Amino acid sequence: MREPVISFYNVSKSYPLYGHIRGIKNFLFNFPKSLTSMRQERFEALSNISFEVYEGENFGIIGNNGAGKSTTLGLIAGVLKPNKGRVVVRRRVSPLLALGAGFHAELTGRENVELNGVLLGLTRKEIRRKMDEIIEFSELGDFVNRPVRVYSSGMLARLGFSVVAHLDPEILLIDEVLGVGDIRFQKKCLDKMMSFKDSGVTMVLVTHSVASVMNICDRAMWIDNHQVRMMGDPAEVVEAYCAASNVPINTNAVNKAAL
């Protein structure tokens, strides 16, 4: 039996709706109301979900908007804490910075690679060793020496993927970002992801592209209404998900090469 690298034990996560305490002024003027609403107005993002992801697995998460997919990724990355239950992550997590979200607009591509590298837990020495490889993979050419504010969204995504893919990920979190690159780069990413699989990298993929779930993932989970609705073979999960959303799809017809 393989060792689970990510385990969720009866995890629930709810957010207080902080909207009403945005300012000290408002908070003080409506003090009693603010206190009670802080305790009671909560938005439940996940309720009592449990699952395990094993080493080297490609795990897909699908579900409607607001079902709790990104919250799940946040819990794995360790930026969020569950209200109930336990999350155990046994490897280093490299979140795929969604569309260069962790990039600083004024810095060049090269400097942003360094910034993201140290934030992900590497030292500068390690990053410098991999710099050329990263830049080559991103195919940005001379653009790496320009500030990222002049990049197109596709270029940002390419740089973002290149950084995370080359910084020795152990667990890779991917949140719906691959759709922006051009077809050729998507293919390249796909190949890279497949090579991860051989080297034992665990991948968690959150996406709305059912085709990529079926093509890349070994297992899929469908989160519906903040709970796990279904988990198992990607084709079956996707089929059930599409049926529930009233979107007919012929799973056999999905082109295996397309993302």
Partner 1 sequence: MSVSQRIRRKGKVNLLGNNRNWENYRDILIVLLQKELKVRYNNKLLGYLWSIANPLAAAVVYFVAFQILMRLRVPDYQLILLTGVFPWQWFTNAVGSASNVFVGNASIIKKVNFPRNIVPLCMVTNHMIHFIMSIPVIVLFLLFYQRVPSLTWLYGIPLWLVVHFFMVYGIALGLASINLFFRDLERLMSIVLNFAFYLTPVLYPLDLIPEHVRHYMFLNPAAPLIAGWRELLLDGRVEWLFLAVSAGYAALFFAIGMVIYRRLSWKFAEVL
Residues 189 to 218 in contact with partner 1, rule: CB under 8 A: none
Segment contacting partner 1 by CB under 8 A, of 56-64, 73-81, 182-190, 210-218 = 73-81
Residues 6+ apart with CB under 8 A from 214: 234, 235, 238, 251, 254
Residue with tokens 């003027």: 29
Closest approach of partner 1 to the CB of residue 70, in Å: 10
Sign of CA dihedral 110, 125, 134, 112: negative
184 binds partner 1 per the rule CB under 8 A: no
Contact between 104 and partner 1 (CB under 8 A)? yes
83 part of the interface to partner 1, by CB under 8 A: yes
Query: Are the C-beta atoms of 159 and 193 separated by less than 8 Å?
Result: no
Q: In angstroms, how far is CA 191 from the centroid of its own chain?
A: 18
Q: How many CB atoms lie within 10 A of CB 55?
A: 16
Mark 16-55 with x for binding to partner 1 (rule: CB under 8 A) and - for no binding: x-x--xxxxx-x-----------xx-x-------------
Among 53, 61, 75, 180, binds partner 1 (CB under 8 A): 75
| Cα separation, 109 vs 136, whole angstroms | 12
Q: Is 78 in the site for partner 1 (CB under 8 A)?
A: yes
Alpha carbon distance 159, 163 (integer Å) = 6
Question: Which residue among 3, 31, 65, 81 contacts partner 1 (CB under 8 A)?
Answer: 81
Burial class (CB in 10 A: 0-12, 13-18, 19+), 81: exposed
Q: Judged by CB, which is closer to partner 1: 38, or 240?
A: 38
**Is the dihedral angle over the CA atoms 114, 120, 126, 129 positive or is it negative?**
negative
Q: Is 68 in the site for partner 1 (CB under 8 A)?
A: no
Whole-angstrom Cα distance, residue 134 to residue 130?
A: 6
User: Contact 6/52 with Cβ under 8 angstroms?
Assistant: yes
Q: Which window, 55-63, 89-97, 138-146, 243-251, contacts partner 1 (CB under 8 A)?
A: 89-97
CB nearer to partner 1: give 200 or 232: 200
Query: What's the token pair of residue 104?
Result: 């600083």
Residues 35, 101, 243, 258: which binds partner 1 (CB under 8 A)? 101
Nearer to partner 1, 84 or 244 (CB): 84
Q: Which positions touch partner 1 (CB under 8 A)?
A: 5, 11-16, 18, 21-25, 27, 39-40, 42, 74-75, 77-93, 95, 97-98, 101-104, 106-107, 111, 114-115, 118-124, 170-171
